[in-house]
Structure 1
């Protein structure tokens, strides 16, 4: 009796010695991420100084069909065609499908797994090992068929955080896909406006050819009457040839612009050859919507995507921290195992097992800490990218608005200058016909009138280009709908795996 008590006491003392060691190992494995953190956070848009640059003007956000404001049905049809056939759209769809597949895989890791297997093994057993006769030294055929089930308890949320991260990444891919659509549609609209600009310049150049032709005829008539010399004739002919060369160059530029449109549409170069001449109107009055900095974060797909990337990084950090804690897996197996085929399907061949498995990281040479530091670095980069995207978006809106306002002011003076230069050209030409002035005066007046007319056309086309860019910088009609399902809040620096 005393011997039994002594043995029991010895076992208890040994257990008491082992327990602190296990507890120390537990603490060493779970507390080793101490000191790894981040002080970065995303910027609140209401704290950015933008009141003067982005005044509240009671305007409206762009509609999804924002190109309709320019009154050209062909432009709207081209945008729709580009959104269907552009390779950029196809790549965005592929990235979104990949993100969705990754999310499905992460979800599978949170659920139990059931597998079935069968193995047929022909083996000669050693006659001098642990296998007893009559199997020892003989050839045997082993049949084994089992069904196994495994489930990770995920007490610390590692798999759940991986799933949450993948969901955020998928939502980021959705927003990025919308950004690609916006980029394609705005690129088509701007290329189409460039085509309209070239046609406007072509009209001016062709009108210049007519005027230079008329001047050449007057000069030849004056030379025939002895009022001008061959110098004036040659000068008039040279200017006419130069104007014809300008028309030829513009026709070439128009052809190149059509080819660029064809590429944006995802078609061959011949697709744009059949396009009619653009008939764009000036567009809507430009007025910014109210509460712009705060609302812009849900109107720009690139900002929404950057915000979801921050949220995904937050979950990645929590998942990395959960890796410091023990994994507990439950497993169970049931099946049949027998030598030969005759007894394989009998009750005596049944086999079964069940039990937990625990894995606790104690010493990994710093691998887990390095992984967590990498996750924090990715978080810092995601936050910096979000902040940069937000500031860039506000700057983009302010820049486009300022350029439109500047062009509006320029147009007032440019239109007045165009009117005066045309009047001066007409007077010079009339006086030249009457022999009251020289050809040089007419040429100078025509050159000035041409430059003023081109300047007005350039300003109008540039203003429309800036209107297109402004519509895109305001999100092009995009609205973040993921907030209904719980949009990511302002993620602060993750501090715990919970």
Structure 2
């Protein structure tokens, strides 16, 4: 019997020659020592936006997380993944069911059923209590359960990606609103300045120092400044509408948002354990890692399909013609036995299925590695931009002070008849550009701080491994280690 069984197995479909050597990259695979230097800072907290000291921003972030439809979509995806894992868990458990059927049938008098039933109409009543259990000798159902639990964790991490994307987008839009208000203040000051120049020009015309050319030039510059102010008012309005959309509300909600009062924020210092801990701090990396883990188990499930599948089944009940004898002891019926499925020749279907799983695995590994590269690049980029902005601000503030002094001096000289209008306008334009540069650099600095907090995970930390092991143990499956940075299936 053993020889026959071995011969049958050798004739079965097999997965020889199908494998993969793809591996997850680790942070130390990539050179980061210069671009992401070691520091003694802390990872962002979940309430990282509180560093800017704006109570309205905090309230807006809470509102966005409560009302934005994208959060509900993420929750629905998690619920769907949880339901799928429950379905996979059910496959590892015994199945028990009950059925009842009533059939009215005329039996053939020339077939298997002899008279007196042959050629007559009979009412058959059948009630059965049945049970079945897949022995899962090769772990197919257990691997499917592990894969579904890993997909559930990936969905939870995806939900955190949505949360982080939403909060960072809201904070950056709010900072953009602060930028526009700061630029509007400068534009309003410029309008006031150009009105003063226009009045001085009018007085100089009366004394013969200027002509209508200078007056028209002053009026044209004043009109341009007012147009710039109106443009900023329009941008402020559209940014309010954008914030309202991020909050999951109608555009009128944006009109109620007060002017931001954002502070400078905390000192920028990277955590000392970068980049090693980044893989557990970024939800997109965690999600990608769990997907690779799920596909490891998908591959194992596909391999188990090549082996015999044994299902034990049993049934007991009553079966009788007519109602009168249905509840009699003589109507009892019972069955018990195994059902064995052994794939021998399937035209290559199982091998094609396994190849597909390996292809999915290779893709998931590549997606994880690309996500890691992107994550490291984002941290390095935001840090470099912050350092560059800090250096630019030093010179920009010095330039602003000098430009403002020159502007005021030129205006005094113009009023006293010691300078011409061109000198005043040049000095005024330089001062305007200096003010705008300082305002933009300060807002850029805060925007980069927000982006850096998001690049560092926004306070997220993966602690799903223990929960997944507990779920697997409760389902009777062996616990698995959290997805290892280096994974290969063969």
Determine the C-alpha separation between the residues in 2 that align with 1:350 and 1:468: 74
User: What corresponds to 2:350 in structure 1?
Assistant: 368
Give yes or no for the alignment of 1:181 onto 2:176: no
1:116-157 Cα deviation digits (max 9, x unpaired)? 111111111111112111111111110111111011000000
Tell me the alpha carbon deviations over residues 24-77 of structure 1, each in whole angstroms, 9 at most, x when there is no partner: 2212326x1010000100012123210100001101110110000011000010
Pairing of 1:140-219 with structure 2 (within 5 A)? 140-219=122-201
Deviation at 1:21, TM superposition (A): 5.3
Structure 2 distance, partners of 1:80, 1:237, is 47
- Is 1:312 the counterpart of 2:290? The answer is no
Q: Are 2:372 and 1:390 aligned?
A: yes
Task: Tell me the alpha carbon deviations over residues 199-232 of structure 1, each in whole angstroms, 9 at most, x when there is no partner.
Answer: 0000000000110111111111111122111111
Secondary structure at the aligned position of 1:183 is classed as helix
State the match for 1:480 in structure 2. 462
Assess if the C-alpha contact under 8 Å between 1:310 and 1:491 holds in 2: no
Partner of 2:236: 254
Residues 387-411 of structure 1: per-residue CA shift (max 9 Å, x gap): 1111110000000000111111111
User: Using the alignment, how far apart are the partners of 2:7 and 2:351 within structure 1?
Assistant: 18
Mapped to 2, the partners of 1:172 and 1:323 lie a distance apart of 25
Partner of 2:446: 464
Q: Which residue of 2 aligns with 1:346?
A: 328
Q: Secondary structure in 2 aligned to 1:292? A: coil
Say if 2:211 is the partner of 1:229: yes
- Is 1:76 paired with 2:58? yes
- Per-residue CA deviation, residues 330-383 of structure 1 (Å, 9 max, x unaligned), is 000011100000001111111000000111000000000000000000110110
SS of aligned partner of 1:354:
strand
CA–CA separation in structure 1 for the residues paired with 2:137 and 2:332: 33
Q: Output the aligned Cα RMSD.
A: 1.1
Maintained 8 Å contact 1:314/1:491: no
- Secondary structure, counterpart of 2:33 in structure 1: coil
**Which structure has the bigger radius of gyration?**
1
Determine the C-alpha separation between the residues in 2 that align with 1:490 and 1:59: 25
Find the counterpart in structure 2 of residue 494 from structure 1: 489
- TM-score, normalisation: structure 1: 0.94
Gaps of 5+ in 1: 1-15
* 2:415 aligned to which of 396, 409, 433: 433
The match for 2:472 is none
Aligned equivalents of 1:493 and 1:209: distance in 2?
Answer: 66
Q: How many Å separate the matches in 2 of 1:83 and 1:359?
A: 50
Partner Cα distance (2:150, 2:213) in 1 = 76
- Seen in structure 2, the aligned counterparts of structure 1 residues 133 and 483 have a Cα distance that, compared at 3 Å, is closer
1:28 and 2:11 matched = yes
1:37–1:493 Cα contact (<8 Å) kept: no
Q: Distance in 1 between matches of 2:466 and 2:319?
A: 54
CA distance in 2, matches of 1:41, 1:28: 33
* Residue number in structure 2 paired with 1:94: 76
Work out which of the residue numbers 432, 448, 473 in structure 2 matches 1:450. 432
